[in-house]
Amino acid sequence: MRYLFSILLGLALGASSVFIYSLYPPVGLILSIAATCIGIWAAGRLWGKRVYRFIAAAAWGFVILRAGFPGVNEEYLIQGSAIGISMINFGFIAVVIAILTPL
């Protein structure tokens, strides 16, 4: 059940990050990266193991990377602009920081 919760949390964090990052460009990006870092950290903090953080981070990464590829009608959810590239780069840095922080 804990593994499933971690997967669902990672998917929810990824989906919310994709939809929020372009809202009021600097504010939405900062908000989505901060929420990602805190949410993934909280996944491991809740049950005291780093493996839950890693599972949530893998699910988050799946959503973010999938949103960067073209969809059925060639639409992108994460665009190739400076904000979109910053979302991918700084988001993955935040995820690594969230995994490596102590419990």
**Each residue's pLDDT tens digit, 60-76:** 999 999 998 888 888 88
What confidence tens digit (pLDDT) does each residue in 8-59 have? 999 999 999 999 998 888 899 999 999 999 999 999 998 889 999 999 999 9
CA angle 61, 35, 4 (to 5 degrees): 55
Instruction: Measure Cα distances from 6 to 21, 51, 56, 76 in Å.
Output: 22, 9, 5, 26
Query: Which pLDDT belongs to residue 11?
Result: 96
Cβ atoms of residues 52 and 6 within 8 Å = yes
pTM of the model: 0.91
